[in-house]
């Protein structure tokens, strides 16, 4: 159970994950552009969440606001790959003994993607558990499709509850078969 969970970019397809994490946490901070309008539809959960309508492309304001909320012991993020400095600053907000889970698109898992680089960079976060979730695609007979939201959520929760540093949801190969 997290004392303070930080959830970034989880009001869309990852809302079921946010619901589960908030249910297990003492309190949570939910950051997304549309956070002010977001609701779980249950008072018990909504009362545990500070909803911050923030855009992480304004990194200074975003981080200043997060720092006011205090340290966290669980951070789950869904950010664009180019947000390297923001990723590092968010990881710094996680207390020793805490956990960081980063959800990434399929390109991050390619040999020239940033997932391996990020895994190496996170080794400097001593005493913190780091997990990656790379979203791939599904081969279905002679065709392929993107993951369904339920598959994505199941993968993120598997990473949260599991022990593997990297969870690939679906497949990344063969790359030329992606939808």
Give every CB contact of residue 158 below 8 A, 6+ residues apart in sequence. 167
Q: Which CATH superfamily is domain 4-135 in?
A: NAD(P)-binding Rossmann-like Domain (3.40.50.720)
pLDDT digits (tens, 9 = 90+) for 5-47: 999 999 999 999 999 999 999 999 999 988 999 999 999 999 9
pLDDT above 90 (res 70): no
Distance CA 154, CA 137 (A): 14
Which residues partner with 171 through β-bridges?
A: 137
The confidence score (pLDDT) of residue 158 equals 97
Handedness of CA 90, 112, 132, 49 (dihedral sign): positive
Strands 143-146 and 137-140: antiparallel
82 pLDDT above the threshold of 80: no
Question: What is residue 56's predicted lDDT score, i.e. its pLDDT?
Answer: 83
Q: Cβ distance 66 to 28 under 8 Å?
A: no
Three-class DSSP category at 167: strand
Q: Judge if pTM exceeds 0.85.
A: yes
Give CA–CA dist 152/138, Å, rounded. 11
Residue ranges per structural domain of the chain: 4-135
Bridge partners of residue 77, in order along the sequence? 8, 102
Q: Which residue has the higher pLDDT, 138 or 83?
A: 138
Per-residue pLDDT tens over the stretch 39-68: 999 999 999 999 999 888 888 888 888 888
pLDDT band at 142 (very low <50, low <70, confident <90, very high): confident
Q: How far is it, in rounded angstroms, from Cα 57 to Cα 74?
A: 22
């Amino acid at each position: 159970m997290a004392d303070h969970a930080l959830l970034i970019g989880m009001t869309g397809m990852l809302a079921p994950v946010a619901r589960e994490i908030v249910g297990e946490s003492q309190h949570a901070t939910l950051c997304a552009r549309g956070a002010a309008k977001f609701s779980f539809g249950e008072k018990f959960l909504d009362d545990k969440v500070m909803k911050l309508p923030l855009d992480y492309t304004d990194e200074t304001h975003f981080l200043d606001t997060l720092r006011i909320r205090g340290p966290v012991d669980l951070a789950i993020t869904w950010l664009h790959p180019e947000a390297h400095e923001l990723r590092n600053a968010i990881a710094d907000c996680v207390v020793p003994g805490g956990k960081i889970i980063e959800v990434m698109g399929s390109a991050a898992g390619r040999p020239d993607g940033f997932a391996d680089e990020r895994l190496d960079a996170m080794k400097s976060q001593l005493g913190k558990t780091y997990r990656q979730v790379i979203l791939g695609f599904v081969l279905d007979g002679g065709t392929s499709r993107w993951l369904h939201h339920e598959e994505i959520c199941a993968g993120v929760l598997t990473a949260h509850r599991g022990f593997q540093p990297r969870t690939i949801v679906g497949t990344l190969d063969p790359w030329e078969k992606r939808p």
